[in-house]
């Protein structure tokens, strides 16, 4: 062998050794990877098996013949003969049973089913068979996205407890695709089965364009005596809440527990925990500014309802928070059924259900008897009038102007009567002062002189009181417009004129400048216009007031604009716009009324003599 052959052979040997070494290392690495993957699969399988293990859950079997409640996974206690028989089976049967045991049902893994209708997109989780997410289509934002209604989607809504068995963590079997678009009536069914064959079947029924989801809980093989529904995820605000602390923003972003019991719709807000009154409940739920969700029963049930306030920590915002709900009642059949309602608060739509949902938008006051009927009726027709004008001229800014003019024109005769009464009393004030001084010591003569004065000038002695009646008549209408314009979903996202792009929000024109507590979202224009019109409106109305001290008049002229500025800075621009139009109407109305009437001046003399206090005789 020559030198080159020897060197080549050595190189070949080195290459072979190196290749074999590297191949062995790669095989070892692959083996380790396969082992790690197998361990991960085993761990995942063990986790799934543990999640699916029924041994921790005891379904509340209620059968008279059973002496003790069966424990999941345990053999029947009265089956001694069966145990003996199983102990004497031949080896062939044991082998067959062992081979059969190796073929197990596939493990249930956590998964979701999303159902889309024309009204909403709802995601259901097989973990507890509950509602995980609700996205409503009626409240699209400026970017075209739909808002989520569940505050905490990990906790969701409609968890079920049966006696001592909490199904919120149990995995239910479900045979449905991940996404369902509803074109016809559709049902999604979740089934939990324990070791004894007892079943809990939770089904959700959907329609193409309905607001209700029919939720039925059916019990197979056992008879629970009580149930509890838990809504732990709360409800999320769909609107953008102004950043920073404000004086009045919280009043326009609602977070309430709502319910109807004993034919009365109630709204509650609180900062701790609350147990609602014992009553028969038609429905129970939560609401935010423009949307509500409720559990609606087929008939009134004497449920036990509890709620707890939950803070929503949002940096720089004044979110009023949300609530968790608990609804507990007896099981009176082999199933528990109700409707889960998703309700954008459009008056006509929610009223059509005949369940008093429209009173979530506007309710009466306990201080005014019957206001839950007549005041709600006023608000309903004001909203109808607003929508009627919009149908003619598709601009809610114009509709607000027209409805303000109609309302003020309707109340003008009462206002004129009040103004004439006030003006007449102001004109008689100098003579009334003289009578008060002259007959100060003789009330009977003073009364007779006053009545004679009223008679000669055709003024009613009760004109001071009657002057308040027009205001009392107008207040429900003004308050109705206040509530309607501040809460109507119809104004959401609707522009008016120029810079007013959304009548449901403050008319911010520059977010670079903000005033803490007053204009936290940015600089708005309408509140400043409100200040100017309120100043002149207060000044012109104070000029005709009889008997008010000049210092008080001056204070009112400045106090009213300041107060209205604080409130209007965070009000919806539609509401501020209404008040501005109303102020302008009042200014023009008073200017016309007082145009040719000189203000009355008090007399400082009595029959040519200087007025002096008379001696008081007891």
pLDDT category of residue 601 using cuts at 50, 70 and 90? very low
Task: Give me the pLDDT at residue 57, please.
Answer: 65
pLDDT category of residue 317 using cuts at 50, 70 and 90? low
pLDDT category of residue 310 using cuts at 50, 70 and 90? very high
Whether the predicted pLDDT of 347 surpasses 80 = yes
Per-position DSSP letters for 561-600, written without gaps between them: HHHHHHHHTSS-HHHHHHHHHHHHHHHHHHHHHTTT-PPP
User: Are 282 and 300 spatial neighbours (Cβ–Cβ below 8 Å)?
Assistant: yes
Q: How distant, in Å, are the alpha carbons of 8, 411, 564 from that of 543?
A: 119, 21, 20
Q: What is the distance between the alpha carbons of residues 26 and 20, in angstroms, rounded to a whole number?
A: 10
Q: What is the distance between the alpha carbons of residues 75 and 81, in angstroms, rounded to a whole number?
A: 12
Mean pLDDT of 596-602: 48
Least confident window among 108-112, 123-127, 315-319, 466-470: 466-470
Q: What is the distance between the alpha carbons of residues 256 and 218, in angstroms, rounded to a whole number?
A: 31
In the chain, % helix, strand, coil (3-state, to 5) comes to 40, 20, 40
Q: What is the distance between the alpha carbons of residues 250 and 242, in angstroms, rounded to a whole number?
A: 9
Task: Give me the pLDDT at residue 395, please.
Answer: 93
pLDDT category of residue 340 using cuts at 50, 70 and 90? very high
Cβ atoms within 10 Å, residue 270: 12
Looking at 291-449, which runs of residues are DSSP E strands?
Answer: 291-301, 304-310, 322-330, 335-344
Which is more confidently placed, 327 or 59? Answer: 327
Which is more confidently placed, 229 or 102? Answer: 229
pLDDT > 70: percent of the chain: 72
User: Are 168 and 159 spatial neighbours (Cβ–Cβ below 8 Å)?
Assistant: yes
pLDDT tens per residue across span 432-486 = 888 888 887 788 888 888 888 877 877 766 655 555 655 666 778 888 888 888 8
Taking alpha carbons only, the member of 158, 171, 65, 66 closest to residue 112 is: 171
How far is C-alpha 339 from the geometric centre of its chain's CA atoms? Answer: 18
Whether the predicted pLDDT of 19 surpasses 70 = no
Task: Give me the pLDDT at residue 282, please.
Answer: 96
Q: What is the distance between the alpha carbons of residues 335 and 342, in angstroms, rounded to a whole number?
A: 23
> Alpha-carbon torsion 537, 543, 548, 552, what sign?
positive
Which is more confidently placed, 615 or 163? Answer: 163
Task: Give me the pLDDT at residue 39, please.
Answer: 54
Cβ atoms within 10 Å, residue 187: 13
pTM recorded for the entire structure? 0.74
pLDDT category of residue 141 using cuts at 50, 70 and 90? confident
Backbone angles phi, psi at 144, to 5 degrees: 90, 5
pLDDT tens per residue across span 181-239 = 999 999 999 999 988 889 999 999 999 999 999 999 999 988 899 999 999 999 999 98
User: Are 435 and 450 spatial neighbours (Cβ–Cβ below 8 Å)?
Assistant: yes
Angle, vertex CA 224, rays to CA 223 and CA 228, nearest 5: 150
How far is C-alpha 115 from the geometric centre of its chain's CA atoms? Answer: 23
Average pLDDT of the residues of the chain:
78
Q: Which domains does the chain have, with CATH numbers?
A: 112-361 (2.70.98.90), 387-593 (no CATH)
Which is more confidently placed, 410 or 114? Answer: 114
pLDDT category of residue 98 using cuts at 50, 70 and 90? very low
Which is more confidently placed, 388 or 433? Answer: 388
Least confident window among 215-229, 245-259, 299-313, 527-541: 245-259
Per-position DSSP letters for 256-320, written without gaps between them: EEEEEETTEEEEE--SSEEEPPS--EEEEEEE-SSEEEEEEEEEEE--EEEEEEE----TTB---
CA contacts within 13 A on the Cβ side of 120: 26
Cβ atoms within 10 Å, residue 194: 22
């Amino acid at each position: 062998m020559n030198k080159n052959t020897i060197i080549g052979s050595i190189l070949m040997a080195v290459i072979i050794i190196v290749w074999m070494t590297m191949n062995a290392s790669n095989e070892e690495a692959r083996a380790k990877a396969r082992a790690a993957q197998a361990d991960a699969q085993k761990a995942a399988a063990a986790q799934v098996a543990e999640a699916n293990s029924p041994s921790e859950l005891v379904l509340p079997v209620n059968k008279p013949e059973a002496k003790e409640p069966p424990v999941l996974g345990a053999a029947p206690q009265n089956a001694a003969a069966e145990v003996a028989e199983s102990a004497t089976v031949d080896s062939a049967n044991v082998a067959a049973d062992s081979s059969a045991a190796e073929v197990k049902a596939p493990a249930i893994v956590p998964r979701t089913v999303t159902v889309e209708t024309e009204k909403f997109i709802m995601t259901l989780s097989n973990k507890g068979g509950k509602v995980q997410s609700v996205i409503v289509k009626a409240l699209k934002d400026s970017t075209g996205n739909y808002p989520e209604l569940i505050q905490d989607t990990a906790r969701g809504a409609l968890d079920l407890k049966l006696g001592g068995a909490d199904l919120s963590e149990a995995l239910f079997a479900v045979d449905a695709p991940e996404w369902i678009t509803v074109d016809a009536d559709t049902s999604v069914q979740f089934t939990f089965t324990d070791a004894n064959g007892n079943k809990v079947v939770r089904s959700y029924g959907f329609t193409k364009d309905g607001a209700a989801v029919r939720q039925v809980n059916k019990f197979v093989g056992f008879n629970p005596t009580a149930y509890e529904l838990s809504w732990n995820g709360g409800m999320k605000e769909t609107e953008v809440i102004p950043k920073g602390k404000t004086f009045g923003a919280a009043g326009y972003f609602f977070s309430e527990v709502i319910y109807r019991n004993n034919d009365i719709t109630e709204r509650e807000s609180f900062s701790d925990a609350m147990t609602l009154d014992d009553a028969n409940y038609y429905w129970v739920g939560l609401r935010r500014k423009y949307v509500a969700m409720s559990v609606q029963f087929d008939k009134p049930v004497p449920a036990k309802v509890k709620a707890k306030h939950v803070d929503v920590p949002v940096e720089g915002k004044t979110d009023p928070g949300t609530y968790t709900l608990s609804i507990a009642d007896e099981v009176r059949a082999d199933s528990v059924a109700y409707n889960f309602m998703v309700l954008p608060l459009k008056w006509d739509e929610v009223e059509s259900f005949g369940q008093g949902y429209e009173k979530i938008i506007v309710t009466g006051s306990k201080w005014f008897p019957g206001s839950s009927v007549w005041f709600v009726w006023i608000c309903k027709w004001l909203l109808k009038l607003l929508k009627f004008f919009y149908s003619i001229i598709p601009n809610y800014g114009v509709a607000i102007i027209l409805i303000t003019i109609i309302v003020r024109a309707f109340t003008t005769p009462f206002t004129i009567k009040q103004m004439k009464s006030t003006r007449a009393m102001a004109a008689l004030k100098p003579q009334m002062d003289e009578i008060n001084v002259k007959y100060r010591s003789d009330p009977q003569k003073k009364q007779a002189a006053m009545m004679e004065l009223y008679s000669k000038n055709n003024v009613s002695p009760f004109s001071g009181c009657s002057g308040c009646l027009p205001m009392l008549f107008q207040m429900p209408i003004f308050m109705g417009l206040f509530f309607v314009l501040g809460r109507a979903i119809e104004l959401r996202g609707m522009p008016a004129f120029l810079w007013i792009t959304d009548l449901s929000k403050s008319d911010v024109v520059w977010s670079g400048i903000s005033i803490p507590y007053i204009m936290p979202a940015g600089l708005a224009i309408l509140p400043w216009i409100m200040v100017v019109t309120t100043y002149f409106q207060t000044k012109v109305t104070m000029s005709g007031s009889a008997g008010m001290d000049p210092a008080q008049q001056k204070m009112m002229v400045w106090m009213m604009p300041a107060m209205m500025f604080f409130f209007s800075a965070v009000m919806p621009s539609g509401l501020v716009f209404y008040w501005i139009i109303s102020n302008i109407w009042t200014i023009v109305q008073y200017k016309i009324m007082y145009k040719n009437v000189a203000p009355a001046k008090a007399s400082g003399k009595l029959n040519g003599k200087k007025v002096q206090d008379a001696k008081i005789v007891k």
